[in-house]
Chain A
């Protein structure tokens, strides 16, 4: 079964850091682009970041560029999101999603999400 399991969310003060992880199973992880998408409860989806299968292409939304860093460890079938200088408006449910062989492909598998709360 193809599965993505996020972890690492929690309560953090503004300006502090948090590292999210996404453990992948049931597919050949290093064949596919991976993505982070966030959602404020009750609101829409916001794309955060994408990374190609070999980490050669990395993209960020304007809202997080310079503060967030995406990475992957293909040997560990894992995706990461290092979030620094967190702000109140970063508070959301963070999903990891599997892409296709091309980074323009649809997000065809989603995790259950991990919640990030930014508050003093």
Chain B
């Protein structure tokens, strides 16, 4: 199976924009959808991006997703950062036999 590699942590100031990367170790990132989840401390995960770049109902348009085939990675971008965005973020994809989560990125909003 492949792995999804995320930075351990990122930090940025309120009002700024942050991008979290998710690199697929083998196989093409564009071959299978990438989904993103937000997990605030003490809470269950919440889907914030599905199918690479779609937002579930209720997720603000400050959240966006993209795929870059040249780097074989997906990205989650959060603009206009709010203190409430401070959380762990996980990417997830799949192949025919497994579902795979990235290791997670802790976002600190300074």
Contact = CB atoms under 8 A, between A and B. Distances in A.
Chains A and B form a bound pair: yes
Contact of B51 (A37, A59, A97, A106): A106
Contact of A113 (B1, B44, B104): B44
Given A35-B99, A44-B104, A104 B32 contact: yes
A95 B44 CA distance: 8
Contact of A106 (B39, B44, B50): B50
Contacts of A1: none
Interface residues of A, number: 21
Interface stretch (B11-19, B20-28, B72-80, B90-98): B90-98
Given A46-B101, A50-B99, A59-B97, A107 B33 contact: no
B47 interface: yes
Interface residues of B, number: 24
Which has the most chain B C-beta neighbours within 10 Å: A47, A104, A113?
Answer: A104
A112 interface: yes
Given A44-B90, A44-B104, A108-B56, A59 B47 contact: no
Q: Which 5 A-B pairs have the closest CB atoms?
A: A106-B50, A106-B35, A47-B99, A110-B44, A45-B101
28 contacts: A37-B45, A44-B90, A44-B101, A44-B102, A44-B104, A45-B90, A45-B104, A47-B98, A47-B100, A47-B101, A59-B97, A61-B98, A62-B1, A62-B98, A104-B32, A104-B33, A104-B94, A105-B50, A106-B33, A106-B47, A106-B92, A107-B45, A107-B92, A108-B56, A110-B44, A110-B45, A111-B44, A113-B44
Given A50-B99, A97-B45, 7 more contacts: A44-B104, A45-B92, A47-B92, A59-B97, A59-B99, A107-B92, A111-B44
